[in-house]
Amino acid sequence: MAISLRYEEKIAILELGDDENRFSPSFLDEMDAHLDEVVNGAQGLVTTAGGKFYTNGLDLDWLAAHGDQTQWYVGRVQAMLARVLTLPVPTVAAIVGHAFGAGAMLALAHDFRVMRTDRGYFCFPEADIRIPFTPGMAALIQSKLTPQAAVASMTTGRRFGGGDAESHGLVDATAPEGAVTAAAVDLMRPLAGKDPGTLGAIKHTMFGPAVQALTADTAGHRE
């Protein structure tokens, strides 16, 4: 299933797919197009998914086959993260399944997160798979988490279940199977309708250093 966008009143619900929802170049193209639509009319954004994964992050198979484009690809991923981080509408991630690596970073780039209570892990496996965080990715995570939570998640490869993730501040709330997206929409409802110019400016000020780090190496690497 490709990425798709639907609405509940003025709240946009972006379905990331029903497989591992990895960030292939075509996935990133679709994300950009849908985010354009969200910015041009929605009053809030909820992202969710249809399978056992929210998203598994980087498309490692694509990277293995296109090693000469690694810098370009990482730049595109980071540009997407920076865009979600500063989107001028309220955002909530409905983490219906596993969120690993850059997929967990995408969830963190949202304003709020709701995670399934009983199954699914929130995990930064970088320490175990020998892939250091880029400065931009580290800055994104550290802009959202307490120092204790950043150390506990970034240096250990630990897999956090829903309750554990909530207690560490990785997510804001949990919900049972089948209720995660609805809970995210409910969380969104009182937030929808903020002035986009004001909200966007606030986010750019709040997360300016993270955005600068995420986009520092992206110039000149777009298609």
Q: Which domains does the chain have, with CATH numbers?
A: 4-215 (3.90.226.10)
- Given a contact cutoff of 8 angstroms between Cβ atoms, the answer to whether 51 and 97 are in contact is yes
For the cut 80, the answer to whether the pLDDT of residue 218 exceeds it is: no
**pLDDT value, residue 222:** 38
Residue 126: CB atoms within 10 A of its CB come to: 20
Q: Is 5 helix (H, G, I), strand (E, B) or coil?
A: strand
For the cut 70, the answer to whether the pLDDT of residue 66 exceeds it is: yes
In whole angstroms, how far apart are CA 58 and each of 106, 149, 201?
Answer: 11, 22, 29
The structure's pTM equals: 0.95
pLDDT band at 220 (very low <50, low <70, confident <90, very high): very low
For the cut 90, the answer to whether the pLDDT of residue 86 exceeds it is: yes
Q: How far apart are CA 94 and CA 172, in angstroms?
A: 11
Q: What is the pLDDT of residues 103-118, one digit of tens each?
A: 999 999 999 999 999 9
Q: Is 162 helix (H, G, I), strand (E, B) or coil?
A: helix
Tokens of 122: 């929130």
Of 83, 5, 43, the closest CA to residue 196 belongs to 43
Q: E strands, the chain, where?
A: 4-8, 11-15, 44-48, 53-55, 91-95, 98-100, 112-116, 122-123, 159-160, 173-175
Q: What is the mean pLDDT of the chain?
A: 95
The dihedral built from the CA positions of residue 40, 46, 51 and 53, taken in this order, carries a sign that is positive
Report percent pLDDT > 90 for the chain.
95
pLDDT band at 212 (very low <50, low <70, confident <90, very high): very high
**pLDDT value, residue 1:** 60
**pLDDT value, residue 35:** 97
**pLDDT value, residue 217:** 63
**pLDDT value, residue 219:** 46
For the cut 90, the answer to whether the pLDDT of residue 51 exceeds it is: no
H/E stretch holding 138: helix 135-144
For the cut 60, the answer to whether the pLDDT of residue 198 exceeds it is: yes
